[in-house]
Amino acid sequence: MSGELSSRKAQHLRLTLEGDVGFATLTTGLDDVRVMPRALPERDLEDVDLSVQRWGRRLAAPLLISCMTGGTSQAGAVNAALAVAAQQHRVGLGLGSGRVLLEDSSAAGFAVRDLAPDALVLANLGAVQLHQYRAEDCRRLVELCQADGLVLHLNAVQEAVQPGGDTAYAGLLERIAGVCERLDVPVIVKEVGFGLSPDDVAALASAGVAGVDVAGAGGTNWAAVEGLRDPAAGGVAAAFRDWGLPTADAVAAAREALDGLAAADLVLIGSGGLRHGVDALKVLCLGADIAGIARGFLAAAAEGTDAATAAVGAVCRQLRIAAWAAGAATPADLTSALLQ
């Protein structure tokens, strides 16, 4: 089983690096969001301080390298490069699904803590796996990854388009709530690129999650990935090339839902198709507390540590410049008041 999982992970890496895995016409909506430029920021660029404290770690900027991979030697090299970049620039790092690690605790590619001793590191598991794995397994996964928290991903469409995918979604919310209750680290729930609806966000808030990542549409399309991986999936997946809630809408709607629930402490992560630090600024202004990027860092990470460090550093720099040129000094200033 773990051999099959590893080969699927290897195919995911290859296809998301080389394949046509975007949306057909749907976009993130971020190009329609415009920040009001301030020609007179009235402070020095170096006086902008975007650092935040999240889940026991200091981030130099509210940025997360979203969960991608693990379980193969190539995945290990990608995670190692991202870990070095996360440590150097003090951004968060999500690991890919650790199911393979639960099946074989010697599986390669998840041991990043030595490379990123100070970074926020998050372990990852498919929420649908909670039919098989219990809270103790989640705890073991967090320990094996020496992580600061656990991300559970929801990928209903991705599972449903692939032959043999796991679509047993009944009762998942209760299982998620059980994990939140039993783990003493934060539990975050994310989509994988089709977006969380405001109703999903409200349900997850009621389940006791510490954070939600909308992972909106407009970036990587996981139906397309599965369609490329398996011709039998391709015919079904084709209809989902424009499925989902665009990232800009997902973030704004999630913020509204959380504010309506008086759940302001719950951390909102805005991701899905972000290309650079200006996109990151936009999701932060739309109401996210942290901006996340996955595939945008993948090519650099596959190239190696120097390229990954440069790519993450560029996004950090872009975000800092954008915040400054929008008149902001701290993350608290990044609100819709900065938008045109």
Ligand X SMILES: Cc1cc2nc3c(=O)[nH]c(=O)nc-3n(C[C@H](O)[C@H](O)[C@H](O)COP(=O)(O)O)c2cc1C
Rule CB under 6 A: say whether 29 interacts with ligand X: no
Rule CB under 6 A: say whether 293 interacts with ligand X: yes
Cβ 194 vs Cβ 217: under 8 Å: yes
How far is it, in rounded angstroms, from Cα 92 to Cα 83? 9
Classify 6 in phi/psi space as left (phi over 0), alpha (psi -120 to 50) or beta. Answer: alpha
Nearer to ligand X, 287 or 327 (CB): 287
Site track for ligand X across 33-72, x = CB under 6 A: ---------------------------------xxxx---
H/E element holding 156? helix 156-161
Cα→Cα distances 334→29, 104, 107, 320, Å: 18, 43, 40, 11
Residues of span 232-261 touching ligand X by CB under 6 A: none
How far is it, in rounded angstroms, from Cα 194 to Cα 98? 21
What residue is closest to ligand X based on CB?
219
What tokens appear for 312 in the block?
């993450």
Dihedral angle, C-alpha 88, 91, 97, 101, nearest 10 ° = 40
How far is it, in rounded angstroms, from Cα 225 to Cα 287? 29
Rule CB under 6 A: say whether 273 interacts with ligand X: yes
Choose, by CB under 6 A, the member of 176, 253, 298, 328 that binds ligand X.
Answer: 298
- Nearest approach, Cβ of residue 167 and ligand X (Å): 17
Nearer to ligand X, 253 or 280 (CB): 280
Residues of span 106-135 touching ligand X by CB under 6 A: 124
Which amino acid type is present at position 295? R
- Nearest approach, Cβ of residue 286 and ligand X (Å): 16
Q: What angle do CA 313, 94, 264 make, to 5 degrees?
A: 95
Characterize 192-223 residue by residue with b for buried, 16 or more Cβ atoms within 10 angstroms of its Cβ, and e for exposed. Answer: bbbbbbbebbbbbbebebbbbbbbbbbbbbbb
**Contact stretch for ligand X (CB under 6 A) within 160-168, 268-276, 312-320, 332-340:** 268-276
Rule CB under 6 A: say whether 277 interacts with ligand X: no
Rule CB under 6 A: say whether 296 interacts with ligand X: yes
- Nearest approach, Cβ of residue 7 and ligand X (Å): 14
Rule CB under 6 A: say whether 219 interacts with ligand X: yes
Residues of span 151-190 touching ligand X by CB under 6 A: 151, 153, 190
Instruction: Give the binding site for ligand X (CB under 6 A).
Output: 12-13, 16, 66-69, 96-97, 124, 151, 153, 190, 192-193, 215, 219-220, 271-274, 293-296, 298
